[in-house]
Every structure is written in C-alpha cells, then in structure tokens.
Amino acid sequence: MLYSHEDTITAIATPIGVGAISVIRVSGSQSIEKVDSIFRGKKKLEDSKSHTIHYGRIYSQSNEVIDDVLISIFKKPNSYTGEDSIEISTHGNPLITQKIIDALLENNVRLAEPGEFTKRAFLNGRMDLAQAEAVADVINSRTEVSLHGARNQLDGLLSKKIDLLREMLIHSSSLIELELDFAEEDIQFVSLKEVKEEIEDIIAEIEELLKSYSFGKIVRDGVKVALVGQPNVGKSSLLNYMLKESRAIVSHIPGTTRDVISEEISVEGLFIKLFDTAGIRFAEDDIEKEGVERSRQAIENADIVIYMFDVTSDFGLELYEEIEKTIPEDRIITVANKIDLGKDLSHSADAEISALTGEGIPELFSLLKEISLGSNIYTEKSAVVSSLRHYNILKKAKENLFSAVKSIENKLSGEFIAVDLRNAENLLGEIIGKVSTDDILNNIFSKFCIGK
C-alpha cells in the first residue's frame, strides 16, 4: 500500500445497491475543502462547526446537479479516523454514489484502499491494533455470541489484558537490567527467584489466553457438527427439522443421502455448521462408497459428531467404536432417534429425540451448546483470543518466557534473560500494535472491506 498519510481519501461506506440512503466517506486534511468544492448549501462547510449536519446539493464538474444530500462534518481529532472527515448521505442509488465519487476523484481525492479508514484510526491512535481488528469481526459476526465476543475485543478487553502482561514483563525486565548494571560489583540486588516467579505468573496468564482460543474460534467461526450413523436412522430428518425446511431428501430406503450436505444455523445464539452425511455401511455401489468416504472425511473435520441410532434397531457398536478412533468420546453426542415409536432403548444415549415430532430436540440443542463452549470459565467479561494471529504471537511469547526461566534455572548471565524478556515484550506489543510493521498492517487491513 503506497500512500501518504496526508492524502484525502473517499469510499462508499454502505453496501452497493439500491436503498433509502447511501453514505460516502471522505477523510484527510483536505476533506472539508474538497467536499466544499462540489457542494452548495447555505454556508461553506469550512465555516461550519464539527458534528453538524448540512443540507445542500452536490454538483458535477459540468455543473449538473447530482443529488440533494446531507453532509455530516467531523473535525479532527473527534472523528473515526482522527482526521477531518465528512460523511455524505445521498439517495441510495449506485449511479448517484458513483457520480459523487467521480466528482471527488476529479478534485484529486483518492479512492480508499480496503480498511484504510480503520487503518488511519489505528495510526492516529484512535484505537489499538486488536481493537481495529475487532471492527471487521463486529461487522462480520453472524450470531449473538460471536457479536458479543467481537464487541468485547472492540471495547478493549483483550488489549487491557495484553497491556497488563506487558507491564508485568517490563517490571521483570527492569529488575534484570538493574542486576546487569551492578553485575561487576558482585552484589545481588534482585532475588532471581522472585523474577522467575513473576515470569511464571505471566506464562500462566498467557496459557489461559491460549486456552481461550478454541472457545474464541468457535465463537467467531462457528462449530462444525457432523450428523453420523448407520443408514436410515434419521440423520437427514434431523437436519431438516433443525433447518425448519426440507433441505435433504428423506426416505425409508437406506442409503438415501449420498453426498455430504452442509448448512449453517444458529442454535441459542451459537453459529453451527451442520453436515448431514451418508449413512455408513458396507457400500453396495461406487457412488455410495464415495459417499461413505466423504462421511468419514466429515467426521475427521468435525468439532462435534452427533452419532445417531434408531431406537427400533441396533446401536451399531462397531461403527461407533470406529468413530471413537477419529474423534474423542467427549466430542461425540449419542442420540437415540424415533422415540415416537417406542422408548425401549437398545443402548443408553446422551439425548433421546424424535426427528419426526421434534420431541427432545430442545434438550439436544442445549447439550450441543454446552459441549461446544466447553466447561469454560469465560464470562461476559473475560478476554478471549479469537484470532489466529494473536494465538501464534502468544505461543511465541510463551516460548521466549520459557527460555528465560530456563536461563535463570541454569544460572546463565542476565543478558540472556533480558533478551528473551525483551522479545516477549515486543511480541505482545504486536498484538495491540505498539510494535508494528507495514507488512503486519497491510496483512490485517487488506482483509477489510472498502469503505471501512
């Protein structure tokens, strides 16, 4: 991304398409002056106060009226980007927004790169990097739970935690540096045992955060649930029931489902990707064999397997045991189906349902949610790691801290300890953007949408 910070940039901030209104954003030191040059209202925008709204018209270069608009002015530093910014609300027609963008481009305003407004907000200190990353998650969250997680990160819960750990690290570092300063005088100022304990505390905190990742990932990306079992037990019927539509073909003929069918649903606020698979048995034809192969793949990729059996038939112990080899038992939910036909179970089950009448399905949902989120201690106010970038950084920081502890144990020179601590401190700084490179920033912001 080659640009000067001084540039004034613009982009359409609302979805492309027809709507009641569309909003165009302009940000940069010349934004007010540039918009003034295509706008005619009661008075000049330059002479207007911050956080005021102005009615008027936008004109093209050839003096043609493009649209009646409302203009909101945000003067620096009290704007999203921290720069002078303007939002132009137009009638929601892509032809109009494009014409206004063109008029701005003719006035040497530049089209914004993806995520550039948020990038500027970060560079101008309006938010830290972890918060900036959360902006994309807030926009893309599709369930209550994931939206809540993203909101927490935007509010700075993770950042505060990382800041705290950095402060602890800086304290340990300063003790070690002090020790180094007086090394020649052969006096030990600092109890290395204390420093070691402090570092171990930080490691423990980092491990907590690392543990929260599986939860954070599920919150953000959803949990993959595979419906598995022998043919004809009612897997597709359950999928249809959950979706409230007849998505998969259901029939009394065993081997109906040949391919893996995947659908997304929200269960009690949790985002679930559901995979209906072909019933697994010794396959009779090539197509079914391929289907069974795909079922096995779906099991491998699943976070949770619903193992279904038919109460009027056998449990299918052989198949169950085979699945247990792929996925741990605590990630398998056994479900007895067709209880409308009788409740004499051939085998105990975690849930008893009827995919026909819906009996027992609310209980199955609760169980699914409980197992997905784990017996986690994450409360509304816990800092949770949901991004792979953060996870990888924390893992590296932990390695550095381990190495520092080893150095202390092996009575190595304080310089070795100091280097590891400094590395760990810099790594934590990368999460919140205290330490950043163009590469890191480009990588993050290029994944944003234009206008954000």
Ligand X SMILES: Nc1nc2c(ncn2[C@@H]2O[C@H](COP(=O)(O)OP(=O)(O)OP(=O)(O)O)[C@@H](O)[C@H]2O)c(=O)[nH]1
Q: Residues in the site for ligand X, rule: CB under 6 A?
A: 229, 231-237, 250-252, 254-257, 278-279, 337-338, 340-341, 354-356
Of Mg ion, ligand X, none, which one does residue 222 interact with (CB within 5 to 8 Å by kind)?
none
Nearer Cβ to ligand X, position 235 or 452?
Answer: 235
Return the residue of 79, 81, 257, 354 that touches Mg ion, per CB under 5 A: 257
Nearer Cβ to Mg ion, position 137 or 288?
Answer: 288
Q: How far is the CB of 25 from ligand X (least distance, A)?
A: 50
Q: How far is the CB of 103 from ligand X (least distance, A)?
A: 58
CA distance 39 to 71: 9
Q: Are 363 and 198 in contact (CB under 8 A)?
A: no
Nearer Cβ to ligand X, position 134 or 355?
Answer: 355
**In terms of C-beta density within 10 A (0-12 exposed, 13-18 middle, 19 or more buried), how is residue 354 classed?**
buried
**In terms of C-beta density within 10 A (0-12 exposed, 13-18 middle, 19 or more buried), how is residue 442 classed?**
middle
Q: 247, 245, 254, 327: which is closest to 292 by C-alpha?
A: 254
**What string of H, E and C letters represents the secondary structure of 430-441?**
HHHCCCCCHHHH
CA distance 92 to 262: 35
Residue with the closest Cβ to ligand X?
279
Is residue 240 involved in binding Mg ion (CB under 5 A)?
no
Q: How far is the CB of 339 from ligand X (least distance, A)?
A: 7
Q: How far is the CB of 276 from ligand X (least distance, A)?
A: 7
Q: Rounded to an integer, what is the distance from CA 126 to the centroid of its chain?
A: 21
**Candidates 19-27, 140-148, 255-263, 401-409; binding stretch for Mg ion (CB under 5 A):** 255-263
**Candidates 44-52, 233-241, 345-353, 372-380; binding stretch for Mg ion (CB under 5 A):** 233-241
Token pair recorded at residue 120: 């500027």
15 prior amide bond cis, ω within 30: no
Nearer Cβ to ligand X, position 1 or 249?
Answer: 249
Of ligand X, Mg ion, none, which one does residue 81 interact with (CB within 5 to 8 Å by kind)?
none
Q: Are 110 and 2 in contact (CB under 8 A)?
A: no
In order, the DSSP letters of 293-325 are HHHHHHHHH-SEEEEEEETTS---HHHHHHHHH
Is residue 146 involved in binding Mg ion (CB under 5 A)?
no
Is residue 236 involved in binding Mg ion (CB under 5 A)?
yes
Q: Parallel, antiparallel, or unpaired: how do β-strands 85-92 and 19-27 relate?
A: antiparallel
Nearer Cβ to ligand X, position 158 or 280?
Answer: 280
Of ligand X, Mg ion, none, which one does residue 115 interact with (CB within 5 to 8 Å by kind)?
none
Is residue 237 involved in binding Mg ion (CB under 5 A)?
no
Query: Where along the sequence are the contacts to Mg ion (CB under 5 A)?
Result: 235-236, 256-257
